[in-house]
């Protein structure tokens, strides 16, 4: 049990941000996961995301998440 996990279902992704040379994992939010095949196609390699930061940051990996562009 991890307190910082969102309620399931949830999606995670390994993302290589522009200018980076390594990928970073985090949650992808605001995506409909009710149709698994459709969600998987939206989360396919090469699809772009943006980083969304919390207003109040705590110095933790949960200070941000990804959203599809």
pLDDT digits (tens, 9 = 90+) for 50-60: 999 999 999 98
pLDDT of residue 32: 96
pLDDT digits (tens, 9 = 90+) for 1-25: 567 778 889 999 999 999 999 999 9
| Distance between first and last Cα of the chain | 31
For residues 14-37, average pLDDT: 95
Nearest by Cα to 68 from 34, 37, 41, 42: 42
For residues 35-48, average pLDDT: 95
Largest CA distance in the chain: 35
Q: Is 41 helix (H, G, I), strand (E, B) or coil?
A: helix
pLDDT of residue 4: 72
């Amino acid at each position: 049990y991890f307190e910082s996990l969102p309620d399931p279902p949830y999606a995670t992704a390994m993302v290589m941000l522009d200018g980076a040379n390594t990928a970073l994992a985090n949650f992808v939010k605001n995506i409909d996961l009710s149709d698994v095949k459709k969600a998987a196609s939206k989360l396919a390699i090469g699809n772009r995301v943006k980083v969304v930061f919390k207003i109040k940051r705590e110095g933790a990996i949960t200070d941000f998440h990804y959203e599809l562009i």
